[in-house]
Structure 1
């Protein structure tokens, strides 16, 4: 994790505001193509609900993951203020906790874990909202790169086999995938019998996905189709990975 707390807080606020702008004036019941079971109202509710849940967890300890369909973001005209209040609450909870370990899916971690997790989760949902509403979307390269690393950290953690049993399909016998951004070092992913392994490296692989880091993130999380980037090598391996690794 190369970015600091201030950068994650900035990213959280930027993409919460971007989400709110993307859905302003949109039909709250409009479907979200990349979250096919959710209308915009539920997507907005989930984002604000998740921020508040994480803030409460930092202050008081773990609680059951809430149901997005039970979230109440209020009237559409109130969404922006409600969403940004939730982001501010989370950032304040993280700053107050300092380096105190808090509960996470992967054992005790500094409270910054949740700021990073929610900054990237909000970024991807901002993309969902923009795609649903026909709005523009962009993410800074440093945030997009860290979001890719964070997702691979989670995919490769042993506890994910329990949290998301479907990820067991990503096991393999040494097949390799390279995510290669237009600028900078890429990610080399290896599928092993024990799960996913990865490192920051630019190397040869069975299949390589090349493109802007923003597009690589959105393809990795299945927000854009793989034809948005250049695929070199085993296309079937790339398709299988994308089909089974989405956030």
Structure 2
């Protein structure tokens, strides 16, 4: 999977999907979020990543351009951010070190992957707001997105936020032959990929779906009825709630 190519393609698709659309159109899966704010958020995210790289640390509020200049078109703000970040990421190998917010991956590959999924997710949001058919991604991209949201956001970001579950729960996430186990509870959250699909049977509950559906469900973009669930409903509900906090 070439994350840089995905980022380039998804940024252009997001922009094309937003052209001519009223910015106030709401994102169906995210009450309170609209199309214009989604486009702005993506443009800001590109600039924030560039500041992480430039400064070698987390940028503080005001150290990057969060909003378009007065009179600047938000879509152009997003597109110029995409061009800038693609230029920087394309000039460095994936394994070349740089600052990121995940201690386990301090290199340019982190930003390639992170921004590829960020752009893909919000491209889907823009298409939903515009009442377009949501373009699918390949199974490879979706499966990588499942891995990212579980290992990075659930398995790391929650700990940074200091958020804990109220009870121990082990939930298996199944996408065909690909299986992850997630553990949530008072001692924190973790997620890991397992080699043998039979390991899913040790879980309190299982959630299964196609790659694209699971990718969107884990990010809160699809309702529970779109996935197949089995076992402890409370464990699944806790996982869902913690994911919403982690990815907020």
TM over 0.5: yes
Pick which of 9-18 and 195-204 moved more: 195-204
Q: 2: CA distance between counterparts of 1:141 and 1:93?
A: 27
Q: Offset of 1:228 from its aligned partner? A: 0.5
Is 1:72 the counterpart of 2:68? The answer is yes
TM-score where L is the length of structure 1: 0.82
Q: 2: CA distance between counterparts of 1:150 and 1:52?
A: 21
Q: 1: CA distance between counterparts of 2:65 and 2:99?
A: 24
What SS does the corresponding residue of 2:206 show, helix, strand or coil?
strand
Q: Offset of 1:21 from its aligned partner? A: 2.6
Q: 2: CA distance between counterparts of 1:130 and 1:119?
A: 16
Pick which of 56-65 and 195-204 moved more: 56-65
Q: 1: CA distance between counterparts of 2:187 and 2:242?
A: 16
8 Å contact kept, 1:101–1:110? yes
Q: 1: CA distance between counterparts of 2:19 and 2:107?
A: 34
What SS does the corresponding residue of 2:45 show, helix, strand or coil?
helix
> Which residue is equivalent to 2:122?
125
The 5 A counterparts of 1:15-94 are 15-62=10-57, 63-64=59-60, 70-72=66-68, 74-75=72-73, 79=75, 82-94=77-89
> Which residue is equivalent to 2:100?
104
Q: 2: CA distance between counterparts of 1:51 and 1:110?
A: 16
Q: 1: CA distance between counterparts of 2:27 and 2:190?
A: 32
User: Which one of the candidate residues 165, 179, 189 is aligned to 1:186?
Assistant: 179
> Which residue is equivalent to 1:197?
190
Q: Offset of 1:46 from its aligned partner? A: 0.9
Is 1:221 the counterpart of 2:215? The answer is no
Q: Is the alpha carbon distance of 1:69 and 1:113 closer, same or farther for their aligned partners in structure 2, counting shifts above 3 Å?
A: closer
The 5 A counterparts of 1:208-247 are 208-246=206-244, 247=247
Equivalent residues, number: 233
Long gaps (5+) in structure 1: none
Deviations 1:47-105 (A, max 9, x none): 112112212332343322569995228436xx2x5534422321221233433322222
Detail structure 1 runs of 4+ shifted over 6 Å in the superposition: 66-69
Pick which of 199-208 and 110-119 moved more: 199-208
What SS does the corresponding residue of 2:60 show, helix, strand or coil?
coil
- Give the root-mean-square deviation of aligned CA atoms: 2.6
Q: Is the alpha carbon distance of 1:147 and 1:68 closer, same or farther for their aligned partners in structure 2, counting shifts above 3 Å?
A: farther
What SS does the corresponding residue of 1:34 show, helix, strand or coil?
coil
TM-score where L is the length of structure 2: 0.82
